[in-house]
Amino acid sequence: DTAVSQTPKYLVTQMGNDKSIKCEQNLGHDTMYWYKQDSKKFLKIMFSYNNKELIINETVPNRFSPKSPDKAHLNLHINSLELGDSAVYFCASSQAGLAGPYSYEQYFGPGTRLTVT
Amino acid sequence: QKEVEQNSGPLSVPEGAIASLNCTYSDRGSQSFFWYRQYSGKSPELIMSIYSNGDKEDGRFTAQLNKASQYVSLLIRDSQPSDSATYLCAVLPFSGGYQKVTFGTGTKLQVIP
């Protein structure tokens, strides 16, 4: 009964390949996020969806494309992988929305460690 | 100026002592503040949220917020070796609509047995 799950946990691939990461939450939250954590451990938001609608789209290469088929699922597809894409990618969810500041407590998945060689 | 600043550490404290972790933020209108704990190789875990000036206590953890000074801190009493982790401060800025939480770079805490 994991709250936020991600697959795969590890992803090793070569430059130029295309890969996807999947995320699912069973918390009933309306909002889901993708974060990238680099080797210096800085956690940077990439995208956020609220009820399948893209609400946050940070300055990220357009090789990264998120998709949310429903509010419990959020996927991340990465085209033409580059060495600099190597990082840990975290999915998170929260009840955030227009409900006010109290709903932004985020719950993270276990992460996907992507290594591009 | 970084939006959320933390001393990267490591902060070393002996077992049983009080660990004090500090965070400053630049957006004066920020309204929600969070502390996450991240063990090495694991995901961030929410341990405290604070929304009003003053102290909020939860077990051995106390979050302190001073909006006038744009300062939030986390105190860990009776520190245990299991508290050794990186602590991330996160801040939600003020404005309408959907917002993004900004994370600091984290402070690494080492509790020495």
Q: Which pairs count as long-range contacts for A49-56, CB under 8 Å and 24+ apart, including other chains?
A: A49/A74, A50/A96, A50/A97, A50/B98, A51/A97, A55/A31, A55/B98, A56/B98, A56/B100
The overall average pLDDT reported for chain A is: 92
- pLDDT of A100 higher than 60: yes
The pLDDT of residue A72 is 95
Residue A16 confidence class, pLDDT cut points 50, 70, 90: very high
The pLDDT of residue A99 is 59
- Interface check A14 vs B, CB under 8 A: no
Which among A43, A90, A91 is the top mutation candidate for probing chain B, defined by the most B β-carbons within 10 Å of its own β-carbon? A43
pLDDT tens across A21-59, in order? 999 999 999 999 999 999 888 899 999 998 888 988 888
The overall average pLDDT reported for chain B is: 93
Q: List chain A residues with CB under 8 Å of B31.
A: 101
Residue A101 confidence class, pLDDT cut points 50, 70, 90: low
The pLDDT of residue A73 is 97
DSSP state of B3: S
Is A96–B49 a contact, with Cβ atoms under 8 angstroms apart? Answer: no
Is A104–B98 a contact, with Cβ atoms under 8 angstroms apart? Answer: no
| A84 DSSP β-pair partners | none
The pLDDT of residue A2 is 72
The pLDDT of residue A40 is 81
The pLDDT of B31-54, averaged and rounded, is 95
Q: How far is A5 from chain B (nearest CA, A)?
A: 11
Distance CA A80, CA A64 (A): 9
- pLDDT of A1 higher than 80: no
Is A110–B42 a contact, with Cβ atoms under 8 angstroms apart? Answer: yes
Q: What's the one-letter identity of residue B6? A: Q
- pLDDT of A98 higher than 60: no
The pLDDT of A56-83, averaged and rounded, is 94
Distance CA A85, CA B62 (A): 37
- Interface check B7 vs A, CB under 8 A: no
Q: Which of residues 32-91 of B touch A (CB under 8 A)?
A: 32, 34, 38, 42-46, 49, 51, 86, 88, 90
Among candidates A42, A44, A105 on the partner chain, residue whose Cβ is nearest the Cβ of B34: A105
The pLDDT of B44-64, averaged and rounded, is 95
The pLDDT of B30-51, averaged and rounded, is 94
Contact A55, A34 (CB under 8 A): no
- pLDDT of B93 higher than 90: no
The pLDDT of B102-113, averaged and rounded, is 95
Distance CA A101, CA B94 (A): 9
DSSP state of B68: T
Q: List chain B residues with CB under 8 Å of A108.
A: 43-45
Among candidates B32, B46, B98 on the partner chain, residue whose Cβ is nearest the Cβ of A50: B98
The pLDDT of residue B58 is 95
